Amino acid sequence: MLMVLVSWTAMVVAGASFAKLSEHFDDALSNGAGSRHLPDLSYTFIQAAAGVAGLIVIAAAGLTLPTFLRFLRSGGWPAIRAHVMRAAGSTLLTAVTSVPLLVWAHGLSPHQRNGGSAGYGILFGVWAAFVVVTLALWAVLAVVAARNVAFSRSLLAAEAGMAVGVALAVVDILAATTLWWVLVAQRAPAFLSGGSATPLSVRLVVTVAVMALAAVAAVAGAVRITRSLPEWIRG
């Protein structure tokens, strides 16, 4: 299950990158019959799958909360204190960085927000790095906490089912993103490459590569879960 959590965290990072690079892609598509329908449909599916996965993760966290609180009351705080402080500190730093970024972005044009302003691009890169580090630190905290908390077999079985659902969503997001890439490459290749006819960009390739790695990890985690699930249920 922890492998699926890590894969979902990686997908969140890649998804944020994809959301930024696909911003206003509709404007690059022609108004011809069918030109917008399939790209829009695949993009909507990506958003829906991401939303479902996020809700499952929140629900899974909610189910573990009572057990986690008992762990803290029984003296478990020292085992996770350092991880909590690092994750909370990184979250605060990210939030503080978000304020000037949002204020600056409000006064910029779409072109300036997407590479036209070097200063804004640097600040956005710093903020994005903070986001990645923050997500990673919270994921590490979740892994450490899960290894220190004794969960019941019934709770493990429920969490396992949710983890498989998240893994399926991660794979679906990769598939839909790949389809979106193919469709937009056919209809508006210049949008993907920033003006050239080749429908490639380093950022898009890296983004999809991270998604692919996340999907591989998610599938591996789901396979391990399905092999262990019968034992948890019998127990």
Rounded to whole angstroms, the Cα distance separating 118 from 49 reads 33
- If pLDDT is split at 50, 70 and 90, which confidence band does 160 have? confident
- pLDDT value of position 234: 61
Q: Looking at the predicted structure, is the pLDDT value of residue 32 above 70?
A: no
- pLDDT value of position 231: 66
Structure tokens at 229: 């699930």
What mean pLDDT do residues 24-41 have? 77
- DSSP assignment of 8-48 equals HHHHHHHHHHHHHHTTTGGGGS--STTTTHHHHHHHHHHHH
pLDDT per residue as tens digits for the range 106-126? 887 766 776 677 888 888 888
- pLDDT value of position 3: 87
Amino acid at 31: N
Structure tokens at 221: 């985690």
pTM of the model: 0.83
- Check residues 233 and 181 and name the one with the higher pLDDT: 181
Using a pLDDT cut of 90, give the percent of the chain over it.
43
- Residue 30 sits at φ, ψ, to 5 deg, of -75, 170
Mean pLDDT of the chain: 86
At residue 103's C-alpha, the angle toward residues 100 and 109, to 5°, is 125
Using a pLDDT cut of 70, give the percent of the chain over it.
90
Place of tokens 């590569």: 209
pLDDT per residue as tens digits for the range 173-183? 999 999 999 98
- pLDDT value of position 232: 58
- Residue 183 sits at φ, ψ, to 5 deg, of -65, -45
